[in-house]
């Protein structure tokens, strides 16, 4: 791989992001942001931190930044890992809210070991809501926990540009399962 001056970071988007991109007149395949299905209605995309701003990565600009598409996910996860090591947790002991710097909170979905550790700490399976790039709610997967997460979801403005999913998720050994609310 060529040396890149850009720092690649993951970004989580709702599938409506891809629909909106596809609706842009004149959008070519080369200009379309690279997306990967992630879980439920969530997609993984990539942004290059080029200093003063972020640029969505697409097939046309990969070469410009010295990047290869097959290496993006591993590179993005590696670059975001230091942020994941400094998560903030707010809790009333029923509902927990994660926050991370650099608009990477929803990217916690990419780190199964993190969710395994959280489940072990709470001694429970989990129900999780990736509601916004800057807000992830979770609770023990019981009636009280589900009710608390669903209530938190109901408080989110899903018209916000960076809102994500109204779905409930549970981490599994192989990824994520969408839960019935």
Picking from 64, 81, 98, the residue at the C-terminal end of a domain is 81
Q: Are residues 56 and 116 in the same domain?
A: no
What's the CA gap between 21 and 45, in Å, rounded?
12
- What residue numbers bound the domain in which 109 lies? 87-179
108 and 55 within one domain: no
> What's the rounded Cα separation, in Å, for the pair 151 and 145?
10
* pLDDT on residue 56: 94
Q: Which residues pair with 43 in a beta bridge?
A: 13, 37
Exposure of 88 by Cβ count < 10 A (0-12 exposed, 13-18 middle, 19+ buried)? exposed
User: Is residue 14 located within the same domain as residue 57?
Assistant: yes
Per-residue pLDDT of the chain (181 residues; tens, 9 = 90+): 444 567 999 999 999 998 888 888 988 889 999 999 999 999 999 999 887 888 999 999 998 899 999 999 999 999 999 999 999 999 999 999 999 999 999 999 999 999 999 999 999 999 999 999 999 999 999 999 999 999 999 999 999 989 999 999 999 999 999 997 6
* pLDDT value for 1: 42
Q: How many domains does the chain have?
A: 2
CA 111 from chain centre, in angstroms, equals 10
Cα→Cα distances 163→111, 129, 166, Å: 20, 11, 9
How many other C-beta atoms lie within 10 A of the C-beta of residue 35?
Answer: 18
Any domain includes 121: yes
Residue 2 lies in a domain: no
Together in a domain, 111 and 152: yes
Residue 148, SS3 per DSSP: helix
pTM of the full structure: 0.93
The DSSP bridge pattern shows strands 168-172 and 7-14 to be unpaired
As beta bridge partners, residue 37 has 43
* Residue 102 belongs to a domain: yes
Contacts of residue 62, defined as CB under 8 A and 6 or more positions apart, other chains included, come to 68, 69
DSSP class of residue 140 equals E
> Does residue 30 form part of some domain?
yes
d(CA 31, CA 8): 17
The last residue of a domain, from among 18, 52, 81: 81
pLDDT of residue 4: 57
**Residue that has been written with the tokens 């969505």 in this structure:** 56
Q: What is the dihedral of CA 125, 86, 162, 25, to 10 degrees?
A: -110
Task: Give a yes or no: residue 20 inside a domain.
Answer: yes
Residues 127 and 58 in one domain: no
Q: Is 27 inside any structural domain? A: yes
pLDDT value at position 181?
62
Same domain (yes/no): 15, 62: yes
The residue from 81, 96, 126 where one domain ends is: 81
Q: Are residues 49 and 76 in the same domain?
A: yes
- Distance, in Å, from the CA atom of 141 to the CA atom of 147, rounded to the nearest integer, reads 10
Residues 91 and 132 in one domain: yes
Are 134 and 67 in the same domain?
no
Same domain, 27 and 67: yes
């Amino acid at each position: 791989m060529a040396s890149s001056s850009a720092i690649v970071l993951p970004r989580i988007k709702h599938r409506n992001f891809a629909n909106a991109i596809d609706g842009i007149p004149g959008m070519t395949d080369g200009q379309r942001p690279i997306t990967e299905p992630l879980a439920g209605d969530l997609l993984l995309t990539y942004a290059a931190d080029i200093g003063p701003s972020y640029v969505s990565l697409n097939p046309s600009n990969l070469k410009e930044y010295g990047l290869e598409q097959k290496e993006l996910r591993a590179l993005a996860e590696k670059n975001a890992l230091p942020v994941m090591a400094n998560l903030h947790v707010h809790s009333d002991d029923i509902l927990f809210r994660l926050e991370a710097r650099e608009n990477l909170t929803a990217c916690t979905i990419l780190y199964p070991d993190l969710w395994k550790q959280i489940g072990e700490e709470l001694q429970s399976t989990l129900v999780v809501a990736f509601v916004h790039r800057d807000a992830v709610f979770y609770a023990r997967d019981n009636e009280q926990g589900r009710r608390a997460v669903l209530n938190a979801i109901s408080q989110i403005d899903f018209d916000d540009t960076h809102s994500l999913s109204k779905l409930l998720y549970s981490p599994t050994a192989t990824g994520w399962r969408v839960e019935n609310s």
